[in-house]
Structure 1
Amino acid sequence: MTGTVRLWRWRRNPLRRRTDVAEAWLSLAAGLVLVAGAPAAGVGTALAVGDALLAGQGAAQPQRAEVIGRAAVPVVAGAAGRAHAEVRWTGRDGVVRVAHARVDAGAEPGSRVTVWTDDRGRLTGAPATRSEAWLGAGLAGAGVAACVGVAAVGARNAARGRLDARRAAAWERAWAEAAPRWGRRVP
């Protein structure tokens, strides 16, 4: 019986309205997006982000640098013993560069550290490991899938609200047309 009730909008019926058919199609489209579109968008995003993060592994190059300023004590409790200090290194092009980089907290001037640079010699973060890249890709994919699902349900609910408003307006018009035939109105 419930299958018949759920599919009543698809059957020929003299009481079926255009808005009922439109709502049925909207529900079907939203269901397809939830079942197929959201997972496909999530997997596609995860693969693209994972490939991009793994490709970035070769872009960052390690450089040996010398700490030239005392490393500050980290202010953030969860900084895992890291702080910013001024460092100097010679790039692959032979140019000596100076910048602030994250080093071990309390690193003394003159100590050697490893910094990561891009192809132009600018400081960049350490490349993601393979597991970090795929974890980030999985989180990005899950986020996109959730957003697509929320958007599909939200669009369906917004459209259903408009259809409900149209049905209510039609109902009011029908009552306004039928009420005078029944006699006096009661205030």
Structure 2
Amino acid sequence: MEGVEEKKKKVPAVPEIHKKKRRHFSELKVKHLRKKFAQKMLRKARRKLIYEKARHCHKEYRQMYRTEIRMARMARKAANFYVPAEPKLAFVIRIRVINGLNKASIKMLRIVEPHIAWGYPNLKSVNALIYKRIYGKISKKQISLTDNGLIAPSLGKYGIICMGDLIHEIYTVGKRFKEANNFL
């Protein structure tokens, strides 16, 4: 019986290389989990920022729309006419790109009007066009914009980090319209 007890007491030693391997693997796993958690928190913060910006833009669009209606009603009540502001953005099809809309470009469009289609877009048409047919210039290549991760590296320095920001900048012809338009 003593021989059996000796065999039970002797446990085969684990080679040192296996111990190091296990320790290294556990350290890598901890590093990987920390990195994954940090990325998750970063995505969560970005998503929150995007939602806040979208809420702000929606509020601004609604305020613009309500202001137009209110001004027209006030003018009608006072037996006057309300003339809305000149549009800043135009869609032109089959002609060179027009970044700024001024009297000269409007005259030019009137001359070639029988041969082209053009008009002033609303928010819905800008939204539809950008979400359906948008390509961005990323490292001198035309790449289809499928998610916000493609927009932020190129236009993030201008404060445009998502599709909503891009639509807002195009529709309102904001301060960074030129950069946003050149990106498309």
Question: Could you state the TM-score of these two structures normalised by the residue count of structure 1?
Answer: 0.29
Structure of greater Rg: 1
Q: Relative to total residues, which structure has the larger strand share, 1 or 2?
A: 1
- Counting helix residues as a fraction of each chain, which structure ranks higher? 2
